[in-house]
Amino acid sequence: MTTYAEIAVIVVAAGSGQRAGGGIPKQFRNLGGMPVLARTLNLFCAFDFHSVIPVIGADQFDDFENVLKFVRADVRKRIASPVLGGNSRQASVLNGLQALVHSSPRFVLIHDGARALTPSDLVQRVTEALQTNDSVVPALLISDTVKEVSPSGMISATLNRNKLRTVQTPQGFRFQAILDAHQAAVARKVDGLMDDASVMEWAGLPVRIVPGAAGNLKITTVDDFEIAERQIFNERQDIRVGQGYDVHSFVPGDHIWLGGVKIAHTHKLNGHSDSDVLLHAMTDAILGALGDGDIGVHFPPSDNQWRGMASKVFLADAIARLHARGGVLAHLDGTLVCEAPKIGPHREAIRAEIASIAGISLDRVGLKATTSEKLGFVGRKEGVAAFATATVRLP
Ligand code: MG
């Protein structure tokens, strides 16, 4: 019986291809609220694999750091430090394999970073077939007729499609066998092999196919991004709205925190953390949309580790919970109710800070302010109230 702990995963994401547009390599482009590569890594981190090794380009370490922010925090530790890619896909895979030599897993899955929608049952299918095969590749039947064409644009042959398959990743191998085959190919100066199955074929070793999945799209072109976004959202979208409310009272002091921005004031807000009433309401709004308790459940005031804590930690945690569910934040909207301080002069700074903490664009952050016409506790300048709404999209 093969266990996931015996299998390492190499995710090849070193390409610089920009056919998908956006001015950055496709694996780092936003796909439905998070980078393509983050979706791919989340897929494999959901299993208890030996390790997940990303292979990236020399100038892609900053992009990769950003990707990690979107990987489920509870399983992020399964991702190893990224390995530097080579001049070709084949060279990049070999670098990934060599990074595994010291730990020598029994098997390895090799996956294209741009296949971000791979169904988990396909991963299981490849893994299970490794029990009885050294090389396993997911393959699809072809429904179109395939022609061989001459350079002059004339058909030179019609291939028998019954004997043809298109192949996908993840491709699974016995680790030592694929490492030996890759090293032998380099030693013989054989390069340009199109996938890892080709390396095994070149080495004369048998490769088993298992059924692939039609939805296992290799996201390459602008059109692919549109298809992939539809696949993620239009078919499975679950839009939810959550609300939050919070109040903190004034006590003697000289500043308050609102939306992660420090504002000079005649008082401060009383509370256990930095008492950022707006971020507390927004945190609760996200938790509400997720049906995942409230800020007091996750950060109990009785727990001293949260004393004086910057409330952006709470908002970031709620967003990590959202990402862990495969969701994205569509918008955050807040209303502050106070007689003083005046919010207008700070509105844009607060919006920008919230957008930064939440990892969303500025146009997805709303902030309004009102007084309560001198009525009630707010009207008596005894404190600040905040209302918030969050819209999230879950798969
Ligand atoms: Mg509070």
CA 43 to ligand 1 centroid distance, Å: 35
Q: Which of 235, 268, 301 is the last residue of a domain?
A: 235
Question: What are the pLDDT digits (tens) for 233-269?
Answer: 766 678 999 999 999 999 999 999 999 999 999 999 9
CA 277 to ligand 1 centroid distance, Å: 5
Q: Which of 235, 257, 275 is the last residue of a domain?
A: 235
For 294-353, give the DSSP string. Answer: -HHHHS-TT-GGGTT--THHHHHHHHHHHHHTT-EEEEEEEEEE-SSS-SGGGHHHHHHH
21, pLDDT greater than 70 = no
Which pair of structure tokens corresponds to residue 41? 């890594």
Q: Which of 235, 257, 273 is the last residue of a domain?
A: 235
CA distance 254 to 269: 10
198 shares a domain with 112 = yes
Predicted local confidence at residue 20, as pLDDT: 62
Q: Which domain holds residue 101?
A: 4-235
> Is there a contact between 153 and 115 (Cβ–Cβ < 8 Å)?
no
231, pLDDT greater than 90 = no
Report the percent of the chain where pLDDT is more than 70.
Answer: 98
CA distance 93 to 108: 11
CA 246 to ligand 1 centroid distance, Å: 5
CA 388 to ligand 1 centroid distance, Å: 12
- How much is the average pLDDT of 270-279? 94
CA 348 to ligand 1 centroid distance, Å: 22
CA 307 to ligand 1 centroid distance, Å: 12
- Residue 64 belongs to a domain with what CATH number? 3.90.550.10
- Residue 260 belongs to a domain with what CATH number? 3.30.1330.50
293 shares a domain with 149 = no
CA distance 102 to 106: 12
200 shares a domain with 313 = no
253 shares a domain with 222 = no
Number of domains in the chain: 2
Question: What are the pLDDT digits (tens) for 2-19?
Answer: 789 999 999 999 988 766
Which pair of structure tokens corresponds to residue 243? 């609300």
Question: What are the pLDDT digits (tens) for 79-102?
Answer: 999 999 999 999 999 999 999 999
CA 275 to ligand 1 centroid distance, Å: 6
113 shares a domain with 221 = yes
- How much is the average pLDDT of 95-112? 97
